Amino acid sequence: MANIHSQKKRILRSERERLENRRYTSAIKTYFRRLEAAVAGKDADAADAEHKLLVRTVDKAVKVGALHRNNGARKKSRAARIRKSASA
């Protein structure tokens, strides 16, 4: 454990930020699973809703800094491919 007061505060802040980033990445993985399940079940309306929610969450994660913007773009592209396979 750190001895300096500002280091102690920084450790606490880093942990808080790490957990916030984990919330975003975990939610994105969950939305991917839901999207794939909706596509597998051939439920176009549910797939649309899950895709919209996934893209919104990815955009927020990129904005806050939880994801790198290239990583976010890659995830959105992957989601669009999955969504497109439902309509084909």
Residue 27 within a domain: yes
User: Is 1 inside any structural domain?
Assistant: no
1-37 pLDDT, tens per residue?
789 999 999 999 999 999 999 999 999 999 999 999 9
Domain membership flag for residue 2: no
**Domain at 31, CATH number:** 1.20.58.110
Q: Does any domain span residue 9? A: no
| Residue 11 belongs to a domain | no
Query: Is the CB of residue 35 less than 8 Å from the CB of residue 56?
Result: no
Q: Is residue 45 part of a domain?
A: yes
Gap between the Cα atoms of 64 and 82, Å rounded: 25
What is the rounded CA–CA span in Å between residue 5 and residue 59?
A: 35
pTM of the model: 0.86
49 within some domain: yes
User: What's the domain range around 27?
Assistant: 18-87
Number of structural domains found in the chain:
1
